[in-house]
Structure 1
């Protein structure tokens, strides 16, 4: 059974591009672009002044903008920690990893995409994508490191959710922003070591996290 490793996109994205604009988009993407045009900009983006105008301009030009491979477009903490261009086996990464995008659905690392701005909890994006995404995940084993909002955009029969949790004074809490970095490191470790069996997760011990059989836990 093929393994799929699901990771989130990043809100931060590289500007510009070096490849041609998209020739076509899926019906779901087209519907979302139409919904973006009709939406209240302030409610959609939660931004003001220059940042708001930039977000509007980016989305207005999605179909005309130059593209980049998705792994180069996304620039957030998870992607910094993955450090894709230093991986020895990028082909394995490209084969296994799928990014759950609010605008483009399941995106492979080498898929060419333009800059865009859409959170997956806006315009019912997760609900719009869940059936199409889930169809692509049939007959696969999923290692799911998605945040809660992105989990709503996928369903799968076989797989495991991976959470990173902090324990302080006996109380457990999500790792939060700190968790983004360790998730990226975990993804890199999976690829570098060709890990597909959750039983092997116990060998990942970076930054003081320990696999309990259900989640990664760190005492602080």
Structure 2
């Protein structure tokens, strides 16, 4: 099983790993586009105004531009420790020990606008690039990633169940049929439901944590739902689609 997480705009700074080595990352067939995007971001960082426009940054976020300027030389961290925020707080990989930590390293992957997809141990620097960004003079990131990323994900799906927790913009970078997806809704005392936005991430983080802590190897959506329920989550299933129901 592979649990495919969304990235986060916020990323942990620094690191104790060597500078980025594209050839050492998982899915090496993605290296040409990874390298091209790194080069484009480094060059774009030399024009702060253009960089702000392309990446949707304000002048107060110029530290993000500096990160991109040093992509080739900055220290790295394993991907699963690089990303921060609500989902990753709920996942809390740092607290896992023993077999659970090993399963997290084996099962977790992260979608990325810069790298396409990363496995948990892939070492990357801090960077700024979102799925909706459009670099000057280039097609959309979805148009650039799909021809390369979709065959990679299809290859993974041929041998392992993928639980796809990416948001829509990141799923659009590389779609793959047959994955298990999860959504979160809030239900009030009258049974009325509404989509959850901010806390969507927290509950997906809880689901990801349950899936790396279980010793079982879920093979379909029903088995994934069963793991979530054992972890105390209220989950409904319709085919490969799961709905996590929380109290409004």
Q: Would the TM-score normalized by the shorter structure come out above 0.5?
A: yes
Deviations 1:153-212 (A, max 9, x none): 222233211111123465533211111111111100011113523213145359985222
Q: Please, which of 72, 84, 89 is the counterpart of residue 93 of structure 2?
A: 84
Q: For 2:191 and 2:145, locate their aligned partners in 1 and report how far apart those are by CA, in whole Å.
A: 38
Verify: 1:18 aligned to 2:16, yes or no: yes
Q: TM-score, normalised by structure 1?
A: 0.88
1:1-220 to structure 2, matched below 5 A, reads 3-24=1-22, 26-36=31-41, 37-38=43-44, 40-51=50-61, 53-88=62-97, 89-123=100-134, 124-137=140-153, 138=155, 139=158, 140-168=160-188, 171-193=192-214, 194-196=216-218, 197-200=220-223, 201-202=225-226, 204-205=228-229, 209-214=233-238, 215-220=243-248
Q: TM-score, normalised by structure 2?
A: 0.78
Q: For 2:151 and 2:202, locate their aligned partners in 1 and report how far apart those are by CA, in whole Å.
A: 29
Name structure 2 gaps, 5 residues minimum: 24-30, 135-139
Q: For 2:193 and 2:233, locate their aligned partners in 1 and report how far apart those are by CA, in whole Å.
A: 13
Q: For 2:129 and 2:149, locate their aligned partners in 1 and report how far apart those are by CA, in whole Å.
A: 17
Runs of 4+ in 1 over 4 A off after TM superposition: 168-171, 205-209
Q: Which position in structure 1 is the counterpart of 2:137?
A: none
Q: CA RMSD in A?
A: 2.3
Distance 1:23 1:199, change over 3 A: closer
User: How many residues in Structure 1 have an aligned counterpart in Structure 2?
Assistant: 217
Distance 1:219 1:188, change over 3 A: same
| Alpha-carbon shift at residue 74 of structure 1 (Å) | 0.9
